[in-house]
Amino acid sequence: MAYIMLAPVLVLLSIFVLWPAVQAVYLSFFDWSFYTSSQFVAWKNYANVLGDDRFWQAILRGLEFVLMTVPVSLVLSFLIASLAVSVSQKVSTLLKISIYIPSVISGVIASITFVMIYDYSGGILNALINIVGLPNQAWLGDPRWALGAIALPAVWLGLGISTLIMIAALLDVPQSFYEAAELEGASWWQRTRYITLPQIKNVLLFLLVTGFVGSIQQYELPLVMTAGGPQHATELPNLFIFNHFRQDTYVGYSIAAALLLFVVLGSISSIIFRIVNSEKLVD
């Protein structure tokens, strides 16, 4: 009976996940095109990707983007969650709703909104810095600022879900721990360092890994806001693969690049687990 109940899920998983994955691996060994017959090229596509400086630059740019977004998101989520669990029920509910609103906004709509905020001549951000005497900045047109300008809406969009997960983790910490610490005269920082953080380490690990994977695979924001420019300064890995797919008649290279990106993400995620010694995080 159990296998009968699992059969529909296994069939759907095979059709929409396993078979496409196998087919992608298969096609990555061919010069495959929609317009001409395919030709077996063995490891040529993988060699071309590994020898492409733009691919590695996109990977490094993605890691830089992760450093811009994930730590900031974790810190803000923790601070907001700490505030939410320490205030009254009404204020906490209002805070949760307010912080979650960006999560239901389309990434395309958010991109267009921030493009207007960053506008050189009429954007509100340049208007604000003009007040303190600073000149207008081409936030999306200058390679120095473009990636950071995209990181800001990325943090804003993902803050709601990570904060709610953090709130759930904080509510799961036994209050008796804090009461005992207060009796011993522990400060807020001491309670946070020795009680809160160790108790929610599983959740922190989860948010760290999912945040890393989500950030390095960011696609909508750079596509809509900058199309990967200026000078490829915001061309993250997924956008690099998409641009190559649009420009190349043969898609074997793009498939190979996507599979290599999968290997890179899996390897780095494994390293994260090993560094934080995740096998000891299981209660």
How deeply is 274 buried, as exposed, middle or buried, from its count of CB atoms within 10 A (0-12, 13-18, 19+)? exposed
For the chain, give every domain's residue range.
Answer: 39-104+153-257+271-280
pLDDT at 283 over 50: no
b/e sequence 205-217, b meaning 16+ C-beta within 10 Å: bbbbbbbbbbbbe
In three state form, how does the secondary structure of 77-93 look? HHHHHHHHCCCCHHHHH
User: Stretch 42-59: mean pLDDT, rounded?
Assistant: 90
The 10s digit of each residue's pLDDT in 123-148 is 899 999 999 988 999 999 989 999 99
User: Can you give the pTM of this predicted structure?
Assistant: 0.88
Spatial distance between the Cα atoms of 143 and 74, rounded to a whole number of angstroms: 26
Element holding 31 (H helix, E strand): strand 30-31
The terminus-to-terminus CA distance of the chain in angstroms comes to 32
pLDDT at 279 over 90: no
For domain 39-104+153-257+271-280, which architecture applies? Orthogonal Bundle (1.10)
Show the DSSP H helices in the chain as ranges: 2-13, 19-27, 44-50, 53-84, 89-100, 107-117, 124-131, 146-171, 175-183, 188-191, 197-199, 201-216, 220-225, 237-247, 252-275
pLDDT at 227 over 80: yes
Task: Identify the pLDDT of residue 115.
Answer: 94
Task: Identify the pLDDT of residue 10.
Answer: 86
More confident residue, 201 or 250: 201
- Token pair in block for residue 235: 């061309």
Percent of the chain exceeding pLDDT 70 equals: 97
The 10s digit of each residue's pLDDT in 142-192 is 899 999 999 999 999 999 999 999 999 998 888 888 888 888 888 888 888
Task: Identify the pLDDT of residue 238.
Answer: 92
Task: Identify the pLDDT of residue 277.
Answer: 60
Q: Which residues contact 264 (CB under 8 A, 6 or more apart)?
A: 59
**What's the mean per-residue pLDDT of the chain?**
88
User: Stretch 39-51: mean pLDDT, rounded?
Assistant: 88
